[in-house]
């Protein structure tokens, strides 16, 4: 067992750190205030190879590992969680399933442009009455000639304001068990009958966009079915296993940024004649933050390592997300506490970290859903 990063992974981590510090951190607070989508940051990520990290060279990608993706996402999320989720969704929720389940024609058509960042990807599973209970979705698609005709409304689609390509899950057969008869479609922006509708106003990750999608008589060619018709639900769940590693990485990035800000402030801020870092009560907070971050990082890298080896990682990804998202919330909250009144102001970044951390316990499966996934694997283990 070797806990050192390889030379290659170290180089990737360092490149991601440079990208994040130079191109993402400047303006992160401003983008959070104005809600300006980090499109420029996404395009720049393309120049670094971060928009198609696991895409093979044959499709124009750098063919890196999921461990590399974790390291990149941690660095980006330290700087800006809105840019972080944009890259996470693009890599894990759109590009990865296209690579795994796509036809040769679909891969040849889209992967090269996704890998360079020319195209931005999004993933649309949730609806008004199907979040945790994703299989309850009602958006429908009926076969008609060479097309499917989509009708319905999807909710909560990350990056939808600017995305070019969407994976959309719709029900193609009724009267079956609810997780059966669902199909995954690749839908291009601009397809007639497809509208990106209302944009949500959020507590955190405010520069990321979260929108409703409306489909009205929207014709999508049968050639755009991802995987087998009627077998979309397993594709959706398999994709979320990878996505949860991405969100765990996001959470670690937010937690690390919180710790760094807390350490800096604790060394500078004086109370009772000395820096507050000298109070044991403050030191204990920093120590607990550090230990939890290390644990979450190891778990997340391990889940990515399993994915790289093609081994099952459903429970490990859920464990990583559960622990990392709680760590992010713990660390951000403690960082605000260490800042005292200053932590409550927009002048310091920790209030943004606290708002951003909150979402990591909600999307791509809530904390409660991660526990259900983990409990299932514990109870099924022989």
Ligand X SMILES: Cc1cc2nc3c(=O)[nH]c(=O)nc-3n(C[C@H](O)[C@H](O)[C@H](O)COP(=O)(O)OP(=O)(O)OC[C@H]3O[C@@H](n4cnc5c(N)ncnc54)[C@H](O)[C@@H]3O)c2cc1C
Which amino acids are annotated catalytic?
364
Are the C-beta atoms of 211 and 157 separated by less than 8 Å? yes
Nearest-approach distance from CB 27 to ligand X, in angstroms: 21
Shortest CB 365 distance to ligand X, Å: 6
Query: Judged by CB under 6 A, does residue 343 bind ligand X?
Result: no
Nearest Cα neighbor of 247 from 372, 81, 28, 5 is 81
Give, as ranges, the residues between 157 and 196 that touch ligand X (CB under 6 A): 157-158
Closest CA to 293 of 77, 138, 91: 77
Query: Least distance to ligand X from the beta carbon of 275, Å?
Result: 37
Q: Show contacts with ligand X in window 3-62 (CB under 6 A).
A: none
Give me the count of residues in the chain: 382
Contacting residues for 338 by C-beta, under 8 A, at least 6 apart: 262, 265, 266, 276, 282, 285, 286
Among 156, 194, 233, 330, binds ligand X (CB under 6 A): 156
Token pair belonging to 59: 């499709």
Q: How far is the CB of 210 from ligand X (least distance, A)?
A: 4
Contact stretch for ligand X (CB under 6 A) within 44-52, 110-118, 154-162, 308-316: 154-162
Nearer to ligand X, 126 or 337 (CB): 126
> Are the CB atoms for 13 and 71 separated by under 8 Å?
yes
Shortest distance (Å) from residue 329 CB to ligand X = 14
Cα separation, 228 vs 232, in Å, equals 7
Q: What is the spatial distance between Cα 210 and Cα 276, in angstroms, rounded to a whole number?
A: 39
Measured distance CA(325)–CA(352) in Å, rounded: 15
Which residue of this chain has its Cβ atom nearest to ligand X in the complex? Answer: 131
Element (H, E) at 317: helix 314-339
Q: Which long-range contacts (CB under 8 A, 24 or more apart) does 275-284 make?
A: 276/338, 282/338
Q: Phi first, then psi: give them for residue 80, nearest 5 degrees.
A: -165, 115
Nearer to ligand X, 211 or 338 (CB): 211
Q: How far apart are CA 261 and CA 148, in angstroms?
A: 51
Q: By rule CB under 6 A, what string of x and - marks binding of each residue 108-127 to ligand X? A: ---------------xxxx-
Alpha helices per DSSP H over 48-151? 66-79, 81-88, 96-101, 104-116
Nearest distance, CB of residue 132 and ligand X, angstroms: 3
Q: Which one of residues 131, 232, 242, 246 is an interface residue with ligand X (CB under 6 A)?
A: 131
Interface segment toward ligand X; rule CB under 6 A; list 2-10, 66-74, 150-158, 330-338: 150-158
CB of 146 to ligand X, least distance (A): 27
Stretch that binds ligand X, among 106-114, 190-198, 269-277, 366-374 (CB under 6 A): 366-374
Residue of the chain from 10, 132, 197, 270 that contacts ligand X (CB under 6 A): 132
Between CA 29 and CA 42 the distance in angstroms is 17
Tell whether residue 214 is a contact of ligand X (CB under 6 A): no
211 part of the interface to ligand X, by CB under 6 A: no
Residue 197 near ligand X by CB under 6 A: no
Binding mask 71-110 for ligand X (x = CB under 6 A): ------------------x---------------------
* Residue with Cβ nearer ligand X (45 or 93): 93
Helix (H, G, I), strand (E, B) or coil at 364: coil
Q: Which of these, 240, 244, 245, 360, lies nearest to 301 by C-alpha position? A: 245
Give the total of residues touching ligand X (CB under 6 A). 22
Cβ atoms of 55 and 111 within 8 Å: the answer is yes
User: By CB under 6 A, is residue 215 in contact with ligand X?
Assistant: no
Residues that bind ligand X (CB under 6 A): 89, 123-126, 131-133, 156-158, 202, 210, 359, 362-366, 368-369, 372
């Amino acid at each position: 067992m070797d806990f050192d990063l390889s030379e290659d992974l170290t180089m990737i981590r360092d490149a991601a750190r440079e990208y994040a510090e130079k191109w993402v951190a400047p303006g992160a607070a401003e983008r959070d205030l104005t809600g300006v989508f980090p499109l420029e940051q996404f395009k720049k990520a393309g120049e670094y190879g971060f928009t198609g990290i696991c895409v093979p060279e044959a499709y124009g990608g750098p063919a890196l590992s999921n461990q590399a993706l974790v390291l990149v996402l941690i660095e980006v999320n330290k700087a800006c969680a809105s840019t972080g989720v944009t890259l996470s969704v693009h890599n894990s929720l759109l590009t990865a399933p296209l690579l795994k389940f796509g036809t040769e024609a679909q891969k040849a058509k889209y992967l090269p442009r996704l890998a360079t960042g020319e195209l931005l990807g999004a993933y649309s599973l949730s609806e008004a009455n199907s979040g945790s209970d994703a299989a309850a979705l009602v958006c429908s698609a009926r076969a008609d000639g060479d097309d499917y005709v989509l009708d319905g409304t999807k909710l909560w689609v990350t990056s939808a304001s600017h995305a070019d390509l969407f994976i959309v899950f719709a029900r193609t057969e009724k009267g079956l068990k609810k997780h059966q008869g669902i199909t995954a479609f690749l839908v291009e922006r601009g397809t007639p009958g497809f509208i990106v509708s209302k944009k949500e106003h959020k507590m955190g990750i405010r520069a990321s966009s979260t929108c409703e999608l409306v489909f009205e008589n929207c014709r999508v060619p049968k050639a755009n079915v991802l995987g087998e018709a009627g077998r979309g639900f397993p594709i959706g769940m398999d994709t979320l296993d990878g996505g949860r590693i991405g969100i765990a990485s996001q959470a670690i990035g937010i937690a690390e940024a919180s710790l760094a800000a807390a350490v800096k402030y604790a060394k500078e801020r004086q109370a009772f004649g000395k820096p507050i870092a000298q109070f044991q009560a403050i030191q204990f907070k920093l120590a607990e933050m550090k230990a939890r971050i290390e644990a979450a990082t190891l778990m997340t890298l391990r889940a990515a390592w399993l994915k790289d080896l093609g081994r099952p990682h459903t429970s490990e990804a859920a464990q990583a997300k559960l622990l990392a998202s709680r760590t992010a919330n713990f660390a951000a909250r403690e960082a605000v506490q260490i800042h005292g009144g200053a932590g409550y102001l927009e002048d310091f970044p920790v209030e943004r970290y606290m708002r951003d951390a909150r979402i990591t316990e909600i999307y791509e499966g809530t904390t409660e859903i991660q526990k259900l996934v983990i409990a299932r694997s514990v109870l099924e283990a022989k």
